[in-house]
């Protein structure tokens, strides 16, 4: 009896993030009939697409026990560069490609300092965080910039009934998931994150792996930025601010460890991002007092992390018990 | 390397004769602030003065530190757009103590014994009359209205005043306008977009939207377009739109006939007067210490008369 | 002579200090007003609250944790303390008594938030980053909600004088900062709990088995950090003569950046009080100098980022000259 | 000649680790490499593995000069290293660890994806070869140390090497598992693979090796060939450089009858199932059993590192309520755990600080708990010196730079400084050299001679027989037998450790 009970508790805890996510959705569903419409659920997905894409890139970096504080600046830079290019009369596709290149290049800069000079990622990306935003402000002359219709169209078209941002999100999540779980490169990322020294000794291309995760993160940040501005149609000087914290939060909420080697993009990071967005969405739908937003968001995320850590403690205990059999 | 860069940069921007003005802005996140900063700088140059500028990123403490730095550098005058009405008091005291004239731009300090110039547009009043005008349009057209307001950062006093102006103006129209959604944006376009989309999801019949700042319009427009609700004034599905600031986006929307009402602060007037008064004080002349920008409300009815005075018009033509 | 200097530099752990001195000298030449009594006072005053907050953060980081909630601690204790002291809220004590009570309340608020963080990290086993990220959201939201965005003013004169008063010609903020530094130095270097803090940061398991009260140690660090943040709030509030619900919301990266640039490890077990002092000095000097030069907003950001990177590279090259080639 | 080393020298900075070592290895032969810690064995292996480059000297692989530029080159040339510190990634699965450098892959739409099925299939083959019966998709974190060791060997085999270097492969293995490994080594030998076998367990080395090379202080001291007439004693003499008259030093204590520690019906299913025993004052009580029999777990439960479900613990006849390390230390109980790198040492910290860590409280003032720095440092230094630790400096050298034996001495010194009435030792001599072992035995005896008790958990039966007053044997979470010193019986002890008990199967 006791065993069964313990087992069922563990089952619940095992899927805590999902269950809590469901609980949030159901709660809001009860509070407002509007929440549970197909349209609203697809809204949530569209709204979380940008965050989820950025958090996906962040997950790669976190898996190697690194951190990238510069993603918000990269997003901003991406927005500014695309707006500028379009304003100078470049075709849309060229602007998009350039922006993705800029993002990747920014990742390259981070990676260069991290692996050439062995400076810890926190400092490097703190520095590029400032430089990126400063440079973006310089380009934009600290002004908000509106983008042409074409951009907004990308943001609102549907292909086969799937909204474009969701489609991009799907492709990113799918390829990230494949890369992490089905390729040698992906598995080696986990190995490096667990212990870079061991990985080096084992002859893995550690430097190349570190380089690529920052490239991927920069690329994702730029792509996430594009997806966001395609919906917004404008870039303001605060665009992308605090995104780094939200991206990290989404990844960690999805079970990724800050200390490397643990976590996944699907379902982890995706659920994390969608959870955060659902809370925001639900609060608006039920027309909550604006002052309560941060209180409720903070408390709910705290609860999710709490349950997750309780599960973790339980797991450690049972693993120890099972170890010798 | 970077030290060299600093050398280089400073050697370019150094040593003009004439007075030096320290300009400290709390933020540059809305176009309004950028326009003001540009305008003040241009005025300074026109008067043969040089300037040093700083932006505090919404942090009152940092602003205090930056102004203290100006003071220790012995600038001749200070123009400051402060974080709020209270935290500016010690700044005024410090400037008074150092005998440096100071002008407070855009926000009125609370009662105090310091000596300072204020240049201010009344956020509460302008917002109230803009929304009042929206209400009048609504009454003329007839019918029931569901209203939404985009609130700025809850830590920003101007955002609070605009929200208050909005609420107080609506009291008179409570019979036809019902407030169904308050969207906090933290002055962030992404949050605004998500918030507006969600609010429209919850209340598809919203047809009265007031934005606490014009720079959030792209988000509103984007959300409305997605639902095919963005139509010019006069269209039967037109959503009544009102804004605040008078920036380029609002100007364009007005001219194209999408925006009904905008509360405008007269940036050019404010800046010219502020700089002028500071110079008067530096030179020991009698200065206008209380400059009040009445602002104005522009709408489709007075567009020909006022459009040229909208600061966004200059930005839009660039 | 030069060789001796070089050798000294290679060996010492004061390289950030030397960098500060170099920067100071350069700035004195190129910036009008930089080398003046007034500016030095400014520097000193700007430095003090940041030093206090950073010292608290250092202690937390020594245990391998991080406290992102310091900004919300500053905001909440500012408004709570101010509302106890303000003549508007009408508690009706005489000014010096209410100053006394106000400061006490502020410190208690700081300690309480620290306690929440510490307990969540130890007893509930939650990752520090997430705990403090959510408490940051929650308590800053709480501060804004509590005051409905209004500032609290009309504080008693005896409180306002704190930031300008002197004790035997030494200004109170300096006294406070020196006091905190001395206490931290005393604790870290001469007491049992100091040894424990380093041991916990280096290896929790070893520490626990060796009889270290791990949970107690970590909790005290978070409480200390909260109290330090609250003390910072006292100085900030007094200086601005206002209790503000958004006080200090932008200093987070400066604080963590200063601690890390000083040389304290993000992973725990390595760090010193004086390193943090140098780190804060570095960040403050940087801001002050760039501010005085009169660079525009975005150039300041770019240069700030570059200088941080530059400092990090210098430091790395010092420790591992082989990387220069 | 498969492999030939000529006059290999290696210095790290000022320190000369290898001073010209030469030897040869033939195909199909096992070369035993012995020497004390710090003799240079590991450095030698790292040179062959491509991790270090020699300062001078040459290596010839099948007659050709061989100077690997990195671990990959070495591996591709057919040299596989099995490190003492396991190079596994605990967050990956078994099969991923086997192939992490080179997965079997298939092309899907032009993208090379891991061929999971092929990988699992090959993994099963390799696991079978080393006799490891686990699912290939298990997470390595959940494996026991012995299973990890075998997995490491399977990993080495996966690259089909011509030369395999074993560095202390049996420290985590039980006798049974070791024998299985030895038969694998014999198979490999008959397949023409050359092996270098490094171990402190000299009996194993003697029985396995065709040739034996002894290193001391970075120099080649002596070489033996099978049937060439040598003894354990002569090898030890070569290693240590002096005669070691008696391996397990004598002790003339008489255990008293009063109970120091008493454990009643302690349980944590399914690992510990109702264990009761008594440790008397002034005795050395041994715990023997297979890995996983629950010996360490009993100690960990008592010490409060793991929680247990039922049972009680008495100290000096009083029931103990608070079970945590701090409380035990204040009662005078110390616990040297099995994993010294993870649980014993602050690797980045100096010797002085490590030794002082558990005794800080007793060297602190009552007011403000200030540490009496001078007192504690000199006491720590004295304790460390008493363990004959070899180091450059007590306050400047990080313990991570010390050899395994010296590290263990530091941990021991830490516990001795607390002046324990009961010292629990969990595998105290695992993976450390003969000289250091001897030193540790002497320290134990000295402690017991002063009236303290020792609880010695070990997988080495010799050690228990030589050191203990009493031996308890554990089997599947229970105490299956008890032997007093005068009736020690090797066969009976092994029997009760290995025997599958009827009720255990029924449960």
The answer to whether the Cβ–Cβ distance between D305 and C206 falls below 8 Å is no
Per-residue model confidence (pLDDT) at position D23: 87
Angle value at C-alpha A188, between A184 and A191, nearest 5 degrees: 145
Distance from CA of D486 to the nearest CA of A (A): 33
Q: Please give the C-alpha separations between residue C57 and each of A45, A122, B282, C192, C260, in angstroms, as whole numbers.
A: 37, 16, 45, 20, 10
Collect all residues of chain A within an 8 Å Cβ-Cβ radius of residue B197: 43, 46-47
B189:A291 CB<8 A = no
Question: Number of C-alpha atoms within 13 angstroms, CB side, residue B225?
Answer: 21
C303 lies in which domain range?
Answer: 2-324
Note the pLDDT of residue A78: 92
C265 touching chain B per CB within 8 A: no
CA distance C195 to chain D (A): 8
Give A119-174 pLDDT, tens digit per residue. Answer: 889 889 989 999 999 999 899 887 778 787 778 787 778 888 888 999 999 999 99
* pLDDT at D426 (0 to 100): 93
∠ Cα C119 C125 C127 (to 5°)? 95
Residue A16 has pLDDT above 80, yes or no: no
Determine contact: D301 vs chain A, CB below 8 A: no
**Burial code of B179-216, b = ≥16 C-beta within 10 A, e = fewer?**
bbbbbbbbbbbbbbbbbbbbbbbbbeebbbbbbbbbbb
Chain B contact set for C23 (CB, 8 A): 3
Percentage of chain D with pLDDT > 70? 96
Give the CATH number for residue C21. 1.10.3470
- In whole angstroms, what is the distance from residue D113 CA to residue D106 CA? 6
Residues D185-236 pLDDT 10s: 998 999 899 999 988 778 888 889 999 999 888 888 888 888 777 777 788 7
ipTM (interface predicted TM): 0.80
How many whole angstroms separate alpha carbon D266 and alpha carbon D310?
Answer: 6
The residue of chain A nearest to residue D87, with distances taken between CA atoms, is A198
Q: Establish if D292 touches chain A: CB-CB under 8 angstroms.
A: yes
Contact check, Cβ <8 Å, C304/A130 = yes
Phi-psi region of C150 (alpha: psi -120 to 50; beta: other; left: phi over 0): beta
* Terminal Cα distance for chain B, rounded: 36
The beta-carbon neighbor of A202 closest among D101, D103, D271 is: D101
Report residue B11's pLDDT band, with 50, 70 and 90 as the boundaries.
very low
Residue D336 has pLDDT above 60, yes or no: yes
With an 8 Å Cβ cutoff, is D168 touching chain A?
no
Of the pLDDT bands very low, low, confident and very high (cuts 50, 70, 90), residue D404 is confident
- pLDDT confidence of residue A317: 65
D to B contact (≥3 Cβ pairs closer than 8 Å)? no
Whole-angstrom distance, CA of residue B84 vs CA of residue B86: 6
Residue A185 has a pLDDT of 94
What mean pLDDT is reported for chain D? 86
Chain A residues within 8 A of B203 when measuring between CB atoms = 34
Would you call C297 an interface residue with chain A, using a CB distance cutoff of 8 Å?
A: yes
Is residue D306 a contact partner of residue C208, using CB atoms and an 8 Å limit?
Answer: no
Nearest to C141 among A135, A294, A305 (CB): A294
In Å, how far from its chain's centre is CA B300? 21
User: Which of D371, D375, D424 best probes binding to C when mutated, by most C CB atoms within 10 angstroms?
Assistant: D371
> In this predicted model, what pLDDT tens digit does every residue of D475-484 receive, in sequence order?
888 999 999 9
Cβ contacts of A122 on chain C, cutoff 8 Å: 260, 266
**What residues of chain B lie within 8 A of the CB of C294, using their CB?**
13, 51-53
Q: What does the pLDDT read at residue A160?
A: 84
Residue D82 Cα, gap to closest chain C Cα (Å): 27
- Supply the pLDDT for residue B13: 45
**Interface list for C 245-284 with D (CB within 8 A):** 269-270
Q: What residues in A contact C120, CB-CB < 8 Å?
A: 302, 306
**Does C204 touch chain A if contact means CB atoms closer than 8 Å?**
no
Interval A23-44 mean pLDDT: 86
Residue C167 makes CB contacts below 8 A (sequence gap 6+) with C175
Q: Residue A188: phi, psi to the nearest 5?
A: -70, -30
Task: Give the C-alpha separation, D105 to D117, whole Å.
Answer: 10
Strands B50-55 and B20-25: parallel
Among all residues of chain A, which has the CA nearest to that of C254?
Answer: A126
Contacts of C260 in chain A (CB under 8 A): 120, 122-123, 126
Q: What is the pLDDT of residue A323?
A: 37
Q: Within an 8 Å CB–CB cutoff, is residue A146 touching chain B?
A: yes
Give D290 or B2, the one with higher predicted confidence. Answer: D290
Residues of chain D with Cβ-Cβ distance to C198 below 8 Å are: 349
CB contact under 8 A, C307 and B2: yes
**Residues for chain C: how many in total?**
325
Task: Please state which architecture CATH assigns to domain A38-319.
Answer: Orthogonal Bundle (1.10)
Q: E strand or H helix at D57, and its extent? A: strand D56-61
* CB of B31 less than 8 A from some CB of A: yes
What per-residue confidence (pLDDT) applies to D177? 78
Number of domains in chain C: 1
Residue B18 CB coordination number (10 Å): 12
Cβ-nearest to C202 among D305, D344, D349 = D349
Distance CA B220, CA B223 (A): 5
Q: What is the DSSP string of chain B?
A: -HHHHHHHHHHHH---SS-EEEEEES---SHHHHHHHHHHHHHHHHTT-EEEEEE-TT-HHHHHHHHHHHHHTT-SEEEEE-SSTTTHHHHHHHHHHTT--EEEESSPPPS-S---EEEEE-HHHHHHHHHHHHHHHHHHH-S-EEEEEEE--TT-HHHHHHHHHHHHHHHTTTTTEEEEEEEE-TT-HHHHHHHHHHHHHH-TT--EEEESSGGGHHHHHHHHHHTT----TTSTTPPEEEEEE--HHHHHHHHTT---EEEE--HHHHHHHHHHHHHHHHTT-----EEEE--EEEETTTHHHHGGG-HHHHHHH-
State whether C42 and B72 contact (CB < 8 Å).
yes
B288 or C109: which leads in pLDDT = C109
Mutate to test the interface with B, among A141, A282, A290 (most CBs of B within 10 A): A290
In this predicted structure, what is the pLDDT of residue B96?
A: 93
Does residue B2 register a pLDDT over 80?
no
Task: Determine the pLDDT at residue C206.
Answer: 94
Domain boundaries, chain A: 38-319
Q: Which residue of D has its CA nearest to A175?
A: D111
The alpha helices in chain A, defined as continuous H runs, are 2-14, 16-31, 38-63, 71-87, 92-116, 121-140, 149-156, 164-182, 184-194, 196-201, 206-232, 243-253, 270-285, 293-322
Q: Which residues of B touch C26 (CB under 8 A)?
A: 3, 6-7
More confident residue, D365 or A311: D365
- In the three-class reduction of DSSP (H, G, I as helix; E, B as strand; rest coil), residue C211 is classed as coil
pLDDT of residue C316: 78
Determine, for residues D291 and A190 on separate chains, whether the beta-carbon distance falls below 8 Å: no
Highest mean pLDDT among A240-254, A279-293, B288-302, C191-205: C191-205
Helix C95-122 and helix C214-240: axis angle, to 10°?
140
User: What are the b/e assignments for C120-130, b being 16+ CB within 10 Å?
Assistant: bbbeeebbbbb
Q: Kind of pairing, strands B208-211 and B240-245?
A: parallel
Instruction: Name the residue of chain B whose CA is nearest to C20's CA.
Output: B3
The yes-or-no verdict on residue A193 having pLDDT over 60 is: yes
- Residue B61, pLDDT score: 84
Of all helices (H) and strands (E), which one includes residue D17? strand D15-25
Burial class (CB in 10 A: 0-12, 13-18, 19+), B166: buried
Contact residues on chain D for C208, CB-CB shorter than 8 A: 305, 325
- β partners of residue D216: D219
Any A CB within 8 A of D105 CB: yes
Cβ–Cβ gap B62/C250 under 8 Å: yes
pLDDT at B5 (0 to 100): 52
Task: Name the pLDDT band for A99 (thresholds 50, 70, 90).
Answer: very high
pLDDT under 70 in chain C at which residues?
Answer: 1, 10-11, 90-92, 167, 321-325
Chain C positions in Cβ-Cβ contact with residue B156 (cut-off 8 Å)? 149
Q: How far apart are CA A145 and CA D4, in angstroms?
A: 71
Residue C16 φ then ψ, to 5°: -65, -35
A158 neighbors A239 (Cβ within 8 angstroms): no
**Would the pLDDT of B317 be above 70?**
no
pLDDT for D167: 86
At B14 the pLDDT is: 46
Distance CA B14, CA A264 (A): 53
């Amino acid at each position: 009896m006791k065993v069964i009970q313990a087992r069922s508790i563990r089952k619940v805890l095992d899927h805590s993030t999902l269950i809590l996510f469901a609980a949030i959705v159901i709660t809001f569903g009860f509070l407002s009939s509007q929440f549970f419409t197909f349209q609203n659920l697809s809204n949530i997905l569209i709204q979380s697409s940008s965050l989820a894409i950025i958090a996906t890139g962040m997950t790669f970096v976190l898996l190697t026990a690194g951190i990238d504080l510069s993603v918000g600046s990269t997003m901003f830079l991406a927005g500014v560069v695309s707006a500028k290019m379009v304003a100078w009369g470049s075709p849309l596709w060229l602007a998009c490609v350039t922006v993705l290149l800029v993002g990747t290049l920014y990742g390259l800069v981070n990676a260069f300092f991290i692996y050439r000079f062995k400076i810890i990622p926190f400092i490097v990306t703190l520095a590029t965080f400032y430089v990126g935003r400063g440079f973006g402000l310089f380009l934009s002359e600290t002004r908000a910039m509106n983008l042409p219709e074409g951009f907004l169209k990308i943001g609102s078209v549907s292909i086969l009934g799937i909204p474009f941002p969701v489609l991009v999100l799907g492709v990113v999540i799918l390829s990230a998931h494949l890369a992490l779980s089905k390729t040698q490169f992906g598995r080696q990322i986990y190995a490096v994150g667990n212990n870079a020294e061991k990985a080096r000794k084992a002859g893995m291309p550690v430097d190349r792996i570190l380089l690529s995760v920052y490239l991927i993160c920069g690329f994702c940040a730029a792509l996430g930025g594009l997806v966001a501005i395609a919906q917004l149609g404008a870039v303001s000087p605060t665009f992308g601010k605090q995104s780094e914290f939200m991206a990290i939060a989404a990844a960690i909420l999805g079970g990724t460890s800050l200390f490397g080697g643990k976590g996944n993009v699907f379902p982890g990071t995706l659920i994390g991002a969608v959870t955060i967005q659902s809370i925001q969405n639900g609060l608006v739908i039920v027309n909550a007092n604006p002052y309560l937003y941060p209180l409720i968001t903070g408390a709910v995320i705290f609860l999710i992390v709490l349950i997750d850590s309780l599960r973790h403690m339980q797991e450690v205990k049972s693993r120890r018990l099972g170890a010798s059999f | 390397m970077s030290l060299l860069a600093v050398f280089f940069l400073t050697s370019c921007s150094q040593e003009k004769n004439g007075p030096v003005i320290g300009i400290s802005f709390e933020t540059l996140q809305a176009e309004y602030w950028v326009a003001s900063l540009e305008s003040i700088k241009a005025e300074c140059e026109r008067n043969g003065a040089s300037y040093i500028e700083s932006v505090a990123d919404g942090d009152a403490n940092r602003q205090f530190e930056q102004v203290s730095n100006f003071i220790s550098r012995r600038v001749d005058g200070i123009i400051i757009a402060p974080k709020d009405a209270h935290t500016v008091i010690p700044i005024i005291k410090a400037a008074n103590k150092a005998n440096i004239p100071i002008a407070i731009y855009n926000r009125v300090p609370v009662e105090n014994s310091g000596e300072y110039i204020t240049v201010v547009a009344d956020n509460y009043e302008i917002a109230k009359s803009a929304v009042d005008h929206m209400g009048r349009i609504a009454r003329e057209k007839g019918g029931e209205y569901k209203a939404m307001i985009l609130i700025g950062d809850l830590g920003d006093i101007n955002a609070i005043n605009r929200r208050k102006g909005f609420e107080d103006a609506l009291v008179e129209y409570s019979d036809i306008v019902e407030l169904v959604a308050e969207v906090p944006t933290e002055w962030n376009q992404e949050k605004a977009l998500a918030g507006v989309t969600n609010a429209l999801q919850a209340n598809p019949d919203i047809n009265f939207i007031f934005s606490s700042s014009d720079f959030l319009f792209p988000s509103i427009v984007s959300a409305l377009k997605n639902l095919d609700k963005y139509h010019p004034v006069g269209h039967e599905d037109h959503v009544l739109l009102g804004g605040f600031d008078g920036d380029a986006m609002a100007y364009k929307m007005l001219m194209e006939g999408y925006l009904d009402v905008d509360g405008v602060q007269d940036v050019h007037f404010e800046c010219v007067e502020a700089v002028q008064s500071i110079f008067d004080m530096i030179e020991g002349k009698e200065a206008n210490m209380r400059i009040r920008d009445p602002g104005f409300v522009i709408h489709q009815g007075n567009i020909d008369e006022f459009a040229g005075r909208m600061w966004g018009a200059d930005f839009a033509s660039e | 002579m030069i060789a001796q200097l070089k050798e000294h530099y290679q060996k010492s752990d004061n390289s950030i200090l030397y960098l500060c001195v170099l920067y100071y000298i350069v700035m004195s030449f190129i910036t009008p007003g930089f080398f003046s009594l007034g500016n030095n006072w400014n520097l000193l005053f700007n430095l003090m609250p940041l030093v206090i907050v950073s010292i608290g953060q250092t202690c937390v980081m020594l245990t391998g944790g991080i406290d992102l909630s310091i900004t919300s601690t500053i905001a909440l204790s500012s408004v709570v303390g101010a509302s106890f002291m303000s003549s508007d809220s009408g508690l009706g004590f005489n000014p010096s008594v209410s100053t006394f009570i106000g400061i006490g309340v502020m410190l208690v608020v700081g300690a309480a938030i620290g306690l929440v963080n510490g307990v969540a990290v130890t007893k509930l086993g939650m990752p520090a980053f997430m705990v403090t990220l959510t408490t940051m959201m929650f308590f800053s939201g709480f501060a804004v909600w509590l005051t409905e965005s209004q500032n609290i003013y009309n504080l008693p004169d005896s409180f306002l004088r704190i930031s300008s008063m002197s004790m035997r010609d030494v200004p109170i903020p300096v006294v406070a900062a020196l006091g905190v530094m001395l206490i931290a130095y005393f604790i870290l270097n001469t007491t049992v709990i100091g040894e424990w803090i380093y041991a916990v940061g280096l290896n929790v398991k070893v520490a626990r088995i060796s009889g270290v009260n791990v949970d107690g140690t970590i909790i005290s660090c978070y409480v200390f950090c909260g109290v330090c943040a609250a003390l910072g709030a006292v100085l900030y509030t007094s200086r601005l003569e206002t209790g503000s619900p958004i006080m200090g919301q932008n200093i987070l990266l400066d604080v963590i950046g200063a601690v890390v640039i000083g040389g304290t490890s993000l992973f725990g077990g390595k760090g010193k009080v004086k390193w943090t002092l140098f780190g804060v000095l570095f960040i403050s000097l940087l801001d002050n100098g760039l501010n005085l030069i009169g660079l525009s907003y975005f150039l300041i950001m770019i240069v700030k980022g570059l200088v941080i990177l530059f400092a990090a590279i210098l430091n790395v090259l010092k420790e591992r000259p082989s990387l220069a080639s | 000649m498969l492999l030939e080393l000529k006059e290999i020298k290696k210095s790290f900075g000022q320190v000369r680790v290898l001073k010209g070592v030469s030897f040869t290895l033939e195909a199909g032969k096992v070369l035993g490499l012995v020497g004390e810690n710090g003799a240079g064995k590991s450095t030698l292996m790292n040179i062959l593995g491509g991790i270090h480059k020699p300062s001078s000297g040459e290596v010839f692989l099948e007659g050709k000069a061989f100077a690997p530029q990195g671990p990959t080159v070495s591996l591709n040339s057919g040299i596989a290293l099995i490190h003492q510190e396991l190079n596994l990634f605990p967050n990956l699965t078994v099969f991923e660890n086997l192939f992490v450098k080179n997965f079997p892959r298939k092309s899907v739409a032009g993208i090379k994806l891991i061929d999971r099925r092929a990988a699992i299939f090959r993994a099963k083959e390799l696991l079978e070869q080393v006799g490891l019966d686990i699912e290939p998709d298990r997470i390595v974190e959940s494996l026991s140390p012995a299973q990890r060791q075998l997995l490491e060997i399977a990993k080495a085999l996966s690259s089909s090497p011509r030369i395999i270097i074993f560095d202390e492969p049996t420290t985590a293995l039980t006798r049974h598992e070791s024998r299985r490994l030895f038969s694998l080594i014999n198979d490999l030998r008959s397949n023409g693979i050359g092996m270098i076998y490094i171990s402190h367990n000299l009996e194993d080395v003697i029985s396995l090796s065709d040739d034996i090379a002894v290193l001391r202080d970075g120099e080649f001291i002596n070489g033996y060939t099978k049937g060439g007439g040598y003894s354990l004693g002569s090898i030890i003499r070569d290693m240590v450089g002096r005669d070691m008259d008696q391996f397990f030093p004598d002790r003339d204590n008489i255990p008293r009858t009063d109970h120091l520690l008493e454990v009643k019906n302690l349980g944590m299913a399914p690992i510990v199932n109702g264990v009761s025993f008594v440790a008397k004052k002034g005795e050395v009580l041994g715990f023997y059993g297979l890995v996983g029999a629950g010996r360490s777990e009993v100690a960990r439960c008592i010490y409060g590192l793991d929680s247990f479900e039922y049972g009680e613990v008495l100290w000096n006849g009083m029931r103990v309520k608070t079970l945590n390390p701090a409380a035990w230390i204040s009662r005078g109980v110390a616990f040297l755990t099995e994993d010294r790198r993870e649980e014993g040492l602050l690797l980045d910290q100096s010797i002085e600080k490590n030794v002082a860590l558990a005794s800080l409280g007793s060297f602190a003032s009552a007011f403000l708990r200030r540490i009496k720095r001078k007192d504690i440092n000199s006491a720590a230094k004295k304790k460390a010196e008493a363990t004959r630790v070899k180091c450059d400096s007590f306050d400047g050298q990080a313990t991570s730079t010390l050899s395994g034996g010296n590290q263990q001495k530091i941990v021991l010194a830490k516990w001795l400084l607390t002046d324990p009435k009961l010292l629990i030792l969990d595998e105290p001599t695992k993976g450390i050299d003969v000289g250091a072992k001897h030193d540790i035995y002497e320290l134990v005896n000295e402690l017991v001679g002063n009236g303290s008790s020792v609880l010695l958990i070990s997988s080495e039966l010799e050690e228990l027989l030589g050191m203990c007053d009493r031996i308890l044997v554990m089997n599947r979470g229970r105490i299956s037998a008890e032997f007093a010193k005068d009736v020690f019986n090797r066969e009976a002890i092994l029997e009760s450790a290995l025997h599958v008990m009827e009720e255990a199967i029924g449960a």
